[in-house]
Chains A and B, each alone.
Chain A
Amino acid sequence: MTRDALQNRLIELAAKRFERDASTLSATDDFFEKLGIDSFQAMELMTDLEEEFDIEIPDYELQGVNTLAKLAEVIEPRL
C-alpha cells in the first residue's frame, strides 16, 4: 500500500468513526481540532486502525501525532 493510499484509507476510517464527510478531511488537518475529538476518541480511532490493519500501535508512538499524515508514518512500517 502506498503512502497516499494509506492516507486516503485513514481519512475514510476517521470519517466513518466520527461521522464526517470524507471529502472535507485532509491528511494534514490537525484532527483534534478539525474533528473536535479528545484523547478518548483518538484512542477509539486507534482501536479501529489496529483492527483494520491487523497491527498494534503502541500509544507512546502517538505522542505528538495530530494529523493523519503523521499517523500514516507510524502505521506504514508495521504493515
Chain B
Amino acid sequence: MSEVGAMSGNETPSGEQPSRGLRAERAEATPNVVPATTRLGAWQARLVGSRVFRAAQRELARVGVALPAAGPRPAVRVPDPGPSFEGRALRWALVPNAAGAHLEVELHRAPCNEIGTTALAELEALATFVRGGAGGAKALLLHSTVPKGFCAGADLRELYAALIERRAAAAGAGPIGRALGQLAIAHEVRGFVDRIHAVFDTLDMAPLTTVGAVHGFCFGGGFELALTCDVLVADKSARFAFPELRLGLVPGFGGIPRLRRDLGNAVVRDLLLTGRSMNASRAHEVGLVSQVVPRGSALEIARKVAEQACRFDLETTARAKAFTKPLPREALAREKDLFVEMIGSPVVEAALRKFVESTDVRPYLP
C-alpha cells in the first residue's frame, strides 16, 4: 500500500479543499451516531441507568458481589485520524490512481480479521475519517492481506471471555442479582452492537463509492462488513456465510437487512437458515458480487473499479448512491434487539464454549 504524503484530513491529493457545502453534506449524510433504537432498547437503557438498578448494585457490592458495569462502554474517541493510519487490525492510506486517489483500507489481523474491541475502535477511527471527507478520496477500497480471507466475523473468543467474566461476577448474587447481571450484560452487548452499527452505517452511507475486494472466508460479521460496500469483487476462493444460527444467534452487525435490501429474502433465508456457505460463482449468479476474478487478483481488479469511480463528480456519486442504497433503519434496529435478546441464552454460551474449547481441527458445528 503506497501512501500519498502527509495531508490534512480534508485535503484532496491535488491540494484542493472540498467545498464547504460538500463537507457539510457528507457529515449530514453519514452521522456516526448510534442509529435509531427500538422501544425495547430504550426501555433497557432506562432500566439499567435507573436509580433502582444502581441501588441494587450498591447493595450487592456491600456483600462483596460486583455486577458488571451498568451502562454501555463509552465510544472510543480517536483524535482526528489522518489520511494514513497504522493500527493493530487496520491500516489505511490514500493511494493515487490515474483519476485521482482512493482510500485503501487493509484488514491485516491474523488469524482472519476477527472483529473484537480492537478492530472496532480502529473501524470507528476509519468512520470518523470518512465522515470528515476521507481526505478528498472519491472511492474507498476495503480488502484483507490475511491469507485465510477477508474476515471471519466477530471475535468469538473475546465475546465468550467477556460473557463468562460478567456471569462469574454475578454468580453469587442470588436470583435478583443474577437477573440484574443478565440485564447489564445485555446492555453492554447492546453498547458494542450500537457502536458496530454506527460504523457500518457510516460506511454503508458514505458519500463516495466503496469497493470490497474479497477472498477466502467472508463469514458472519465479515460478510456483514462486506455488505456495507457498494461493489464487491470476489476472488474465486471467496466464500460467504452467515453461520450464526450454529451459535444460537442471528447476525447482529446489520447483515440480514443489508442482504435483504440488496438481494431479497430468499437468499437471506437460504444462507441464514442452513448456515451453509456460498462460493464466489454462486454469489455472482445471485448478484451479490459484481465480478469473480482469478485467485490473487481481487485487489488489483478492485483498484481499477475504484479508479473508475474516481472519474466521476463526487456530489453526483453521492446523490446516485443515496437514491439507490437507502439504509434499512427499522430492520437494523429490530435486528439489534433480536441479537441482544439472544446473546444471553444458555444455547449461545454452550455453543461459544464448544467453539473456544475445541481443539479438533474438523468442523465442529452442526
Contacts and interface: CB of A to CB of B under 8 A. Distances in A.
A43 B277 contact: yes
A48 to B, nearest CB: 9
Contacts of A38: 361
A39 B278 CA distance: 16
Interface string A16-52: 0000000000000000100001111011100100110
Contacts of B274: 58, 60
Interface string B103-147: 000000000100000000000000000000000000000000000
B269 interface: no
Contacts of B282: 56
B239 A39 contact: no
Size band of the interface chain A makes with B: 10 to 19
Classify the secondary structure of A's interface with B.
Answer: helix
Contacts of A50: 279, 281
B279 A47 contact: yes
Contacts of A43: 217, 239, 277
Interface residues of B, number: 21
B279 A60 contact: no
Given A47-B236, A51-B236, A39 B277 contact: no
Interface in B16-75: none
Contacts, number: 45
A66 interface: yes
Contacts of B8: none
Contacts of B363: 39, 42, 59, 62-63
B308 interface: no
A60 B237 contact: no
B346 interface: no
A71 B364 CA distance: 17
B366 interface: yes
A67 to B, nearest CB: 12
Interface in B330-366: 361-364, 366
Nearest to A63: B363
Contacts of B236: 47, 51
B81 interface: no
A40 B149 CA distance: 10
A40 B277 contact: no
Given A42-B363, A66-B362, A58 B276 contact: yes
A59 B277 contact: yes
B275 interface: yes
Nearest to A66: B362
